[in-house]
Amino acid sequence: MMKTDFDATRRAFDLPEGMIYLDGNSLGPLPTAVRERLARTVSEEWGEMLIGGWNRAGWMGLPRRVGDRIAGLIGAEPGTVVVGDTLSIKVYQALASALEMNPSRKVILSDTGNFPSDLYIAGGLARTLGPDYELRLAAPGDLAAALDETVAVLLVTEVDYRTGYRHDMAALTARAHALGILTIWDLAHSAGALPVKLAACKADFAVGCTYKYLNSGPGGPAFIYVAPRHIDHARPALSGWMGHESPFAFDLDYRPGRGIERMRVGTPPILQLAALDAALDVWDGVDIEDVRARSLELGDLFVSEVEAGCPELVLATPRAHGERGSQISFRHPEGYAIMQALIDEGVVGDFRAPDILRFGFTPLYVGLDDVRRAAQILVGIMAGRRWDKAAYRRPAGAVVT
Ligand SMILES: *Cc1c(COP(=O)(O)O)cnc(C)c1O
């Protein structure tokens, strides 16, 4: 029995009439509570309190308070998550700290399915640290086999942003630990999408963004988790004043703050944090196990309807529930044009080069009827070749978001 009332959660979002939104894995829609909260934060807090808002409105403590709310969604202990900056920055912080904790080894291991920004950050950090350091990549299915005693840190995005393949966090973490390797889990496509059990899996570090499945809005801040056993040893490489033990002492020497506070860097983005805080209200009364069960049901329905009606689309996502996240991807050489046609007909997914059509399933505001209708429209577009128009062809050098 589902405990979650998905009709109620759907009413908590402002969705454009007539649009079926299957892109919440890229940018979540607007929760109505965010509109109200932002208006209030702007006029009553910023507008009236000005600088006094840091104390009177509790702005200073917001990164931790919101971090604790996220901790509840990712199986983390209270006091282990803090919010701020962007995910790319949080990847850098986690990697720099983890590498320093395993100083005799110089290899960062990741996989070719990881999101490029994570790999660019890792490669850039390796270059900064010197010629001994190396970013090593394995194929997504070969990560376990690629773990060995030369590896310092394993950096994995739990759910592959293109294919939706889900790595086994418990098994990979256990194998890494047995070989003396620290783990960093990127939860960009996991937080708010499926049950994550950081503490139970003994993950060392985790990072993630909030503008995807947590609906904080464009540019919403990221989060970082450090396991309690590491937090007092993890040295923050980005040692900004907000992560200092006592920011307002204005000491010349840096001393890391207590616990997860040390992973703060600079002034927190209060408006975006307020939006995130309000967006998290949607989760009150929601059981993430229900979200997972419904998301798999939506995904299964989409796969069966699309495979029945569009034999030329090739499923890129594993069928096994345990091996996938909350998205379904299909491959087609004309994927770009097909996605443009879909968007024109009110079904919003996205395209990822070279040939992936990607659809995110977010039960908080997407239901079975939406999925049936989206599949029907896709079947119609394929059968009638409605994608085959000059206007839908990919312009050379286009920015595809
Ligand atoms: C979305 C995403 C990012 C984006 O990073 P930003 O710094 O927020 O732009 C990074 N990594 C992964 C795995 C992602 O899915």
**Model confidence over 4-49: pLDDT tens digits?**
999 999 999 999 999 999 999 999 999 999 999 999 999 999 999 9
Tell me if 157 CB under 6 Å of ligand 1: yes
pLDDT at 17: 95
d(CA 281, CA 18): 25
Tell me if 97 CB under 6 Å of ligand 1: no
- Nearest alpha carbon to residue 221 among 286, 272, 260: 272
Question: What mean pLDDT is reported for the chain?
Answer: 97
Both structure tokens of 148: 């060995």
d(CA 207, CA 186): 5
Q: Taken in order 241, 246, 252, 256, is the CA torsion positive or negative?
A: negative
pTM above 0.75, yes or no: yes
55 alpha carbon, distance to own chain's centre: 30
* The residue to which tokens 């996938």 are assigned: 324
pLDDT at 401: 57
**Does residue 1 have a pLDDT over 90?**
no
- 384 Cα to the center of ligand 1, angstroms: 36
d(CA 21, CA 16): 9
* The residue to which tokens 């896709």 are assigned: 378
Q: How confident is the model at residue 394 (pLDDT cuts 50, 70, 90)?
A: confident
Q: What percent of the chain has pLDDT over 70?
A: 99
The domain made up of 6-30+287-393 has a fold known as: Aspartate Aminotransferase, domain 1 (3.90.1150)
pLDDT tens by residue, 61-114: 999 999 999 999 999 999 999 999 999 999 999 999 999 999 999 999 999 999
- 162 Cα to the center of ligand 1, angstroms: 13
The domain made up of 35-283 has a fold known as: Aspartate Aminotransferase; domain 2 (3.40.640)
d(CA 73, CA 63): 16
End-to-end CA distance of the chain: 38
pLDDT at 284: 95
Shared fold status for 6-30+287-393 and 35-283: no
Both structure tokens of 392: 């839908």
The structural domains of the chain, with segments of one domain joined by +, span 6-30+287-393, 35-283
- 91 Cα to the center of ligand 1, angstroms: 9
pLDDT at 398: 64
pLDDT at 289: 97
